[in-house]
Amino acid sequence: MVTDTMDETEFAELTERHRRELRGHCYRFLGSLDEAEDLVQETFLRAWRGRDQYAGRASVRAWLYKIATNACLDFLDRTPRVVPTPALPVAVDSHLAPRPAAAVPWLQPSPDDLLDAAIARETVELTFLAALQYLSPRQRAVLILRDVVGWTAKETATALSTTPASVNSSLQRARTELKEQLPSRRTEWRVESSGEERAVVSRYIDAITAADDTAIAAVLREDVRCSHQPGAGGHPGPEPTWYGGLATVLEGWAPVLHGDVSMELHMVPTRANGGPAVATYVRHDGRFHAFGLNTLLIADGRVAEVTTFVPAVFERFGLPMTL
C-alpha cells in the first residue's frame, strides 16, 4: 500500500510493476509512444507528490490509472490537435478503415515487446489506435476506461469527476463515432495462423526485393491500399498520402522498383502492434539506409494494406539506421 512515509525506493518498487500497462494505456490515448513514455513519467511524478492523498479505497493499479488518465487529458488540453482530413479517397463498406492509420500524423507503431501481452490484440492494432484519435479526449477516456480497462460506469465517473449518467452518455457517443472510423467488414476476414502469416510476409519480401511485378501482384489483394505517413517512404510532403487498387499500387511503386536509377532494397521482418511489419532499407553510397517501416495488414492469405512510417521509428524496434 502507498503511504506518505515510504521512501522513493519503496514507492518505485510498488509502482514500477505497472509501467508496461500504463504505457499501453497512455499509448492508446495519445497514439504516440514518445508521448506515452513522457506521460507515464508524469503519472509516477504526480503519484509520488500525491501519495499522502492515497486512502487505500482503490487498488494501487486503479489509483495509477486514474492519475494517468487525467495526465493525458491535461496534456491534450494543453496541446489540442485534430486529425487532418485531406481530400483523398475514403473506403466505404470495406474491409479497410475509411482512412488508413497514416492519416493520423502523430501515430507511431509499437514493437510487440513494449505492449502488455495480456491485452487483447485488437485494442493495440494501429487501425484501432488511429480510430481512437478521432474521438474527443473525454470520449476517448470514457471508452478506454469502460471498454478496454473494463471499469464500471461508477468507477469511470469517479476517475473523471463526473456522474455515471454522463459516462454512459459519452460512451454511447464514443462507440458510435468509433464504429464510423473502423472497418465495416473486418470480421469477415479469415485470420491467418502465425505460420501462414510468416509465409505471406516472406513472399512479400521476396517479391519486392526482386522487383517482380507478377509475384507482387500475387501476394497483394485486388483492393490493396498503400499509405504513407508524412515524410515516409520517399514521400517528403507535409500531408499523408494513400492510394488503393492493385494496378494503382503497382504504378505508385514503379519509380522505386523500376526507376531510371535502380534502387536496391533490403527488407527485415519484424512485428508491430500485434501484426507483421517490414523494415525497408535502400542502398546508396555503398550502404543500406533506413527508408521506412511498413506495417502489413494480411487478410485471406494476401496483403490488404501497407502503411509506411518514417525511419525515425526504427530505433524503437532496435533496428539500425544503416546496414
Q: For the segment 166-220, what is each residue's pLDDT rounded down to a tens digit?
A: 999 999 999 999 999 998 876 666 666 789 999 999 999 999 999 999 999 999 9
pLDDT confidence tier of residue 284, bands split at 50, 70 and 90? confident
What average pLDDT score do residues 258-276 get? Answer: 88
- The topology (CATH level 3) of 189-317 is Nuclear Transport Factor 2; Chain: A, (3.10.450)
**For position 92, what pLDDT does the model report?**
75
Q: For the segment 14-40, what is each residue's pLDDT rounded down to a tens digit?
A: 899 999 999 999 999 999 999 999 999
- 32 to 24, 36, 89: CA distances (angstroms): 10, 6, 25
**For position 191, what pLDDT does the model report?**
64
Does the pLDDT value for residue 319 go beyond 80? yes
**For position 237, what pLDDT does the model report?**
67
What average pLDDT score do residues 308-313 get? Answer: 95
Supply the mean pLDDT for the chain. 90
Pairing label, strands 302-309, 220-228? parallel
Q: Percent of the chain at pLDDT above 90?
A: 71
In angstroms, how far is the first alpha carbon of the chain from the final one?
A: 49
The residue among 56 and 52 whose pLDDT is bigger is: 52
C-alpha cell recorded at residue 311: 525511419
The residue among 231 and 127 whose pLDDT is bigger is: 127
Domain ranges of the chain: 1-80, 189-317
pLDDT confidence tier of residue 262, bands split at 50, 70 and 90? low
Cα(64)–Cα(47) distance, integer angstroms: 7
- The topology (CATH level 3) of 1-80 is Rna Polymerase Sigma Factor; Chain: A (1.10.1740)
**For position 69, what pLDDT does the model report?**
98
| Dihedral over alpha carbons 284, 290, 295, 299 (to 10 degrees) | 20
DSSP 146: I
**For position 234, what pLDDT does the model report?**
66
Q: What are phi and psi of 274, to 5 degrees?
A: 80, 5
pLDDT confidence tier of residue 119, bands split at 50, 70 and 90? confident
Nearest to 171 by CA among 163, 184, 214: 163
**For position 94, what pLDDT does the model report?**
77
Q: Percent of the chain at pLDDT above 70?
A: 93
**For position 314, what pLDDT does the model report?**
97
Nearest to 42 by CA among 61, 58, 26: 26
Cα(204)–Cα(267) distance, integer angstroms: 10
Rg (the chain; Cα; Å): 21
Cα(227)–Cα(243) distance, integer angstroms: 7
The residue among 58 and 235 whose pLDDT is bigger is: 58
